[in-house]
Amino acid sequence: MLGVGAYRTRNLPTGSELLPLPIGEMTWTLTDHLGRSVRPKDWAGRPTIVFFGFTWCPDVCPTTLSDISLWLEELGADADRMIVALISVDPERDTPDVLADYVSNFDPRIMGLTGSADEVAQAAADFRATYRRVDKDAGDYTMDHTAGVFLFHPDGRFASIIDFHEDRRFAVPKIRRTLS
């Protein structure tokens, strides 16, 4: 029963401080993997998938990108008008060029977004995502970050979250509900 409660809480309509703002109310500015400036208003009218990650991440991020690529393939041309974006939580290392190299390994509908530390912080705040730098030996570091995939309706309303490794049988219908 606990699981059902948690599921419902995470899929509530907007209004909670813990859920992403409607895209139209967001204020971030980021740069895509082709070096172009992107703002929330550029996504108006399009169903949207957003997740946070970074290219130095060996396990969670490529796995999520592989999952999303499979979902998009299953949706086929229906997903062509979607915005699908990876927002880097490691802008220090993830330049647009690095992101271009990285996203080229996955479905071509996936874009990479990065920016200054402040710009990324603003985006995370708008999406209610969190991330944290974890220092390791010899100046190396990794990032803890929100692992879920955010879905939005074409009018910018938050729709739902696909949890990390959620079964494709549930993920694809969730996305489909944002397409109509």
Rule CB under 8 A: say whether 110 interacts with another protein. no
Contacts of 103 (CB under 8 A, 6+ apart): 33, 65, 86, 110, 111, 112
Residue 101 is a binding residue for another protein (CB under 8 A): yes
- Binding to another protein by residue 161, rule CB under 8 A? yes
* Closest separation in Å from C-beta 36 to another protein: 21
d(CA 94, CA 91): 5
Q: Which of 19, 21, 32, 55 binds another protein (CB under 8 A)?
A: 55
Q: Bridge-partner residues for 8, per DSSP?
A: none
Q: Which stretch binds another protein (CB under 8 A): 37-45, 62-70, 78-86, 117-125?
A: 62-70
Give the one residue of 14, 63, 95, 122 binding another protein; rule: CB under 8 A: 63
Among 146, 156, 162, 175, binds another protein (CB under 8 A): 146
Task: Determine if 17 is a binding residue for another protein (CB under 8 A).
Answer: no
Q: Measure the CA–CA gap between 46 and 175, rounded to whole angstroms.
A: 12
Please give the Cα distance from 20 to 14 (Å, whole number).
7
145 is a site residue for another protein (CB under 8 A): yes
Q: In degrees, to the nearest 5, what angle opens at C-alpha 9 toward C-alphas 7 and 11?
A: 70
- Residue 105 contacts another protein per CB under 8 A: yes
